[in-house]
Structure 1
Amino acid sequence: MSYVLVLYYSRHGSTRAMARQIALGIESAGLEARLRSVPEVSAVCEAVAPKVPDAGAPYASEDDLRHCAGLALGSPTRFGNMAAPLKHFIDGTSPLWLSGALIGKPAAVFGSTSSLHGGQESTLLSMMLPLLHQGMIVLGLPYSEADLLSTRSGGTPYGASHLAGPDSDLPLSEEETRLCRALGKRLAQTATQLAATTPSA
């Protein structure tokens, strides 16, 4: 088996914290989790970012996506939508669409908002759209995860979510942490099951 790619953009660290918990869930199911991020974009012209960021996960490449067994995609909310840096990266994946490289691979989404009703679910749905166009199998969180019924912070059936607060400094709640790990575990288990039933070329 290959790795599961955890690809995210994080401005204040909340989405990064979620990514790490999802990675733990992936690894608990026996697969490698590969954490990758994307650089900022500029409103004036294309930003020139160093090839290796000063902190956090390395920047993702097209090959990271091409060779993954599954994908977890994460972003903070920007007006109910994914953040521009992640969208910019995704918009550059047309070669993968043309080659069908991601068809049949499992994917899941996660995100963070400053307010409880600040667009958690719409942001997750916005990230699902390009994954569906790529032919990926999109997974959510089933209600067998009891935290979905009791959480007073983040957590949706569309994917893991987090309430970061107005200053974007709230840590992950216990429920959010468990749901992140559950999503990662489900993604890894699905990737393993799909690999076992797909004939090798």
Structure 2
Amino acid sequence: MIPILILYYSQGGATRDMAKLVARGIASVEGTQPRLRTVPKVSANHEATEPEIPQSGDPYVELADLEECAGLALGSPTRFGNMAAPMKYFLDGTSVLWLKGALIGKPAAVFTSTSSMHGGQESTLLSMMIPLLHHGMLVLGLPYSEPELAATSTGGTPYGASHLAGVMNNKPVSAEEKALCIALGKRLAETAIKLKRGE
């Protein structure tokens, strides 16, 4: 079983819900195993504001999780059209992996949740791709062969899965958004398997 890492940050729970759907898509591909990890909150002066071990939920990511994975799905809520600070803070600390080339050639995908319809879904997804490209990863999107991509009226982009959570963060993931999260996870896992086999 090859591990596929789903690394996310979630404050209101929507991005975590998406991470679980991406994991479901990964689990549907024989030979792959989803590994859910998160990052802790950070303060404005870049200090951790949570205990070293989460009280509940998924464990905090370690650099070894990235090194061991055969593929990566990266998820963050949108903050002014960009990824959230805790995710950026973690990625800024991955230079040791960059120096080793640990992520070169591994497939990656991104997903996000926003509070408003035009709240920066696509720019957030693009911003999350930049460090992955610097690491030499192979970034995957969602092709328009996924029918939900043309049918959705909330989230969903060719750059990755997205969700419109609403200003109060109370809109559940829609049927189309769910299908696209699952499709993204499945595509990531299938690509990881093919790369492992040298196809």
TM-score, structure 2 normalization: 0.97
Alignment of 1:57-76 (within 5 A): 57-76=58-77
Runs of 4+ in 1 over 4 A off after TM superposition: none
* Amino acid corresponding to residue 134 of structure 1 in structure 2: H
Residue of structure 1 in register with 2:102 after alignment: 101
Aligned-residue offset at 1:46? 1.2
Alignment of 1:10-159 (within 5 A): 10-30=10-30, 31-44=32-45, 46-159=47-160
Aligned-residue offset at 1:51? 2.4
Aligned-residue offset at 1:2? 2.0
Aligned-residue offset at 1:187? 0.1
**In 2, Cα distance between the equivalents of 1:2 and 1:178?**
23
Aligned-residue offset at 1:177? 0.2
* Amino acid corresponding to residue 20 of structure 1 in structure 2: K
Deviations 1:159-189 (A, max 9, x none): 0000000101111000000000000000000
- Report sequence identity in percent: 66
Runs of 5+ consecutive residues of structure 1 not aligned to the other structure? none
- What secondary structure, in the 3-state scheme, does the structure 1 residue paired with 2:153 have? coil
Residue of structure 1 in register with 2:8 after alignment: 8
Change (3 A) 1:141 1:19: same
- What secondary structure, in the 3-state scheme, does the structure 2 residue paired with 1:107 have? strand
* Amino acid corresponding to residue 99 of structure 1 in structure 2: K
**In 2, Cα distance between the equivalents of 1:157 and 1:137?**
15
Aligned-residue offset at 1:129? 0.1
Aligned-residue offset at 1:52? 1.7
Change (3 A) 1:45 1:174: closer
Aligned-residue offset at 1:55? 2.3
- What secondary structure, in the 3-state scheme, does the structure 2 residue paired with 1:109 have? strand
C-alpha contact (below 8 Å) 2:46/2:89 kept by paired residues:
no
**In 1, Cα distance between the equivalents of 2:24 and 2:143?**
19
**In 2, Cα distance between the equivalents of 1:55 and 1:158?**
31
* Amino acid corresponding to residue 130 of structure 1 in structure 2: P
- What secondary structure, in the 3-state scheme, does the structure 2 residue paired with 1:42 have? coil
**In 1, Cα distance between the equivalents of 2:86 and 2:97?**
18
* Amino acid corresponding to residue 22 of structure 1 in structure 2: V
Change (3 A) 1:181 1:41: same
Deviations 1:126-174 (A, max 9, x none): 0000000000000000000011111011000000000000101111000
Deviations 1:90-149 (A, max 9, x none): 000000000000000000000000011100000000000000000000000000001111
Deviations 1:56-93 (A, max 9, x none): 21000000000100000000000000000000000000
**In 2, Cα distance between the equivalents of 1:55 and 1:169?**
21
- What secondary structure, in the 3-state scheme, does the structure 2 residue paired with 1:95 have? helix
